[in-house]
Amino acid sequence: MKVFVARQPIFDARQRVVAYELLFRSGPENFFPNIDGDIASSRVINDSLMTFGLSSLVGSRKVYINVTRKILCEELYAVLPVRRTVVELLESIEPDEQTIGACRDLKRAGYELALDDYVDRPAMDPLVALADVIKVDFLATPPEARRALRDRLRRRRPALLAEKVENAATFRDARDNGYTYFQGYFFQRPEIVSRQDIPTFKLTYLDFLRELQQPELNYDNLERVIRRDVSLSMRLLRYLNSAAFYWRSKVTSLKSALVLLGERPFRKWASLIAIVGILGDGSTELALTCLARAYFCESLCRATGRTSLQLDGFLVGMLSAIDALVGRPMNEILQEIAVSREIEEALTHAKTPLGKMRSLVLSYESALWDDVSKMAHALSMPEADLPELYRASLEWAKQAMP
């Protein structure tokens, strides 16, 4: 399922982007749908953190997030980073005692506060006293009211933000009249950003894969991830106790698997479980492809005398289709699971020995024989040995499939 969010930049007087406002969208159409405000605010907060990642949406800049009274009073915004978030109160929120108290709590926690579509009236004074930014709708507010607000707040703290700035003349008027920030179609319309959502079970397997890529394995962290999904634990232990391994005693835990296998083989087999688990009930052909590529790359390491790279070769082959498995671009997935620099380089270009092995394997699958010859020569790999290596990889993948 695709998830959507709109982001609109906020500029300073020199037309530099200083922040982004994130807005709920239910699809690729650039308008706010008929949906409950609490749901919209919650979705933007959750999706910006869990699906997109805040940094991928706003970089190092601040983020403005609209909140309803419920989100404010229940402090559901508190999952957002304190120093980077401006909590924007919708104009529909009335300044009653509970709301004012919630805003004080917000400020004490270190968040900035903005008032959206502000209309000057005495009842709003308690919120104005707490606000860091006051947003003024330049389409709905007459020029004399804008100037009056500026004069009244001149000696107070809130910065004024002119929103719905539609043209250069409006921008100049706002800037010349003391407004600090600017937002509107003159600069940029809200930009729709979409991303494929990852089902919860795949996130668990991704977390498991991330832990397996750490320089030093932390078994407490691994077991913590496994406990989140019973199927992962059952799949791992069932596979480690299968006929593929000839143990004299039953494997009952990760630590016992480590003792029996050793760390490097454990990383290999546990990574296999993670990749197949990410596939879930999807195409077994894709899983078989990943396994065959893993064995092929590992075998190339042995055949070319690069035995120290066997584990990395196996992982490169295994991860070569993870973008298709997860439905995200390769560079995003690699950032999430934090693989080693050698593996990342191999998966993103073919300049390293491991990268050339990946390229050779993919070229062989696609019958691109000129590319196969070039890569085999670069690796000092006899071309005549490749057909048997490929056949053995396919056979091994069928037997190794969990």
Tokens read off for 353: 């020995």
Are 238 and 331 found together in one domain? yes
> Got the DSSP string for 310-347?
HHHHHHHHHHTTHHHHHTS-HHHHHHHHT--HHHHHHH
**Pairing relationship of beta strands 191-196 and 2-11 according to DSSP bridges:** antiparallel
pLDDT over 70 at 398, yes or no: yes
pTM of the predicted model as reported, rounded to 2 decimal places? 0.55
Are 312 and 324 found together in one domain? yes
pLDDT over 80 at 326, yes or no: no
Smallest CA-to-CA distance from 10 within 193, 187, 191 is with 187
Highest mean pLDDT among 177-181, 229-233, 239-243: 177-181
The pLDDT value given to residue 181: 93
CB-count exposure of residue 287 (10 Å: 0-12, 13-18, 19+): buried
End position of a domain, from candidates 196, 216, 231: 196
Domain that holds residue 55: 2-196
The CA distances from residue 4 to 52, 158, 193, 329, 333, in Å, are: 9, 31, 6, 16, 19
**CA end-to-end span of the chain, whole Å?**
27
Highest mean pLDDT among 102-111, 360-369, 392-401: 102-111
Which of 144-148, 220-224, 240-244 is the least confident region? 240-244
Backbone angles phi, psi at 8, to 5 degrees: -130, 130
Are 19 and 125 found together in one domain? yes
| pLDDT per residue as tens digits for the range 115-163 | 998 888 888 889 999 999 999 999 888 888 888 888 888 766 789 999 9
Smallest CA-to-CA distance from 114 within 126, 128, 125 is with 128
**What's the mean pLDDT when you consider all of the chain?**
81
Are 204 and 185 found together in one domain? no
Identify the bridge partners of residue 88 per DSSP, sorted by sequence position. 66, 114
End position of a domain, from candidates 153, 172, 196: 196
- Give me the CATH number covering residue 177: 3.20.20.450
32 within 8 A of 49, measured Cβ to Cβ? no
Which of 46-50, 223-227, 244-248, 288-292 is the least confident region? 244-248
* Domain count of the fold of the chain: 2
Are 150 and 180 found together in one domain? yes
Tally of CB atoms within 10 A around 121: 9
* Between residues 227 and 346, the one the model is more confident about: 346
Are 179 and 312 found together in one domain? no
> What is the arithmetic mean of pLDDT over 90-111?
92
> What is the arithmetic mean of pLDDT over 176-193?
85
pLDDT over 70 at 253, yes or no: no
> Got the DSSP string for 224-280?
HHHHT-HHHHHHHHHHHTSTTS--SS---SHHHHHHHH-HHHHHHHHHHHHHHHHHT
Are 285 and 176 found together in one domain? no
* Between residues 396 and 270, the one the model is more confident about: 396
Chain centroid to CA 392 = 37
CA torsion, points 180, 183, 184, 186, in degrees to nearest 10? Answer: 60
Tokens read off for 29: 């159409």
The pLDDT value given to residue 46: 78
Are 295 and 388 found together in one domain? yes
The pLDDT value given to residue 272: 75
End position of a domain, from candidates 171, 196, 221: 196
Residue 42: pLDDT band with limits 50, 70, 90: confident
Strand, coil or helix: what is 65? Answer: strand
Residue 229: pLDDT band with limits 50, 70, 90: low
The pLDDT value given to residue 314: 84
- Give me the CATH number covering residue 282: 1.10.3210.10
The pLDDT value given to residue 98: 94
> What is the arithmetic mean of pLDDT over 203-207?
70
Strand, coil or helix: what is 204? Answer: helix
Identify the bridge partners of residue 20 per DSSP, sorted by sequence position. 9, 63
* Between residues 55 and 134, the one the model is more confident about: 134
Question: Residue for token digits 């296998």?
Answer: 261
> What is the arithmetic mean of pLDDT over 42-58?
76
The pLDDT value given to residue 6: 83
Smallest CA-to-CA distance from 395 within 266, 264, 296, 325 is with 296
Tokens read off for 243: 């006929």
pLDDT over 70 at 252, yes or no: no
Are 335 and 371 found together in one domain? yes
pLDDT over 90 at 350, yes or no: no
275 within 8 A of 319, measured Cβ to Cβ? yes
Tally of CB atoms within 10 A around 129: 13
The pLDDT value given to residue 233: 62
Are 182 and 229 found together in one domain? no
> What is the arithmetic mean of pLDDT over 222-230?
67
| pLDDT per residue as tens digits for the range 353-379 | 999 999 999 999 888 999 999 999 999
Residue 106: pLDDT band with limits 50, 70, 90: very high
Are 205 and 192 found together in one domain? no
Are 125 and 247 found together in one domain? no
pLDDT over 90 at 104, yes or no: yes
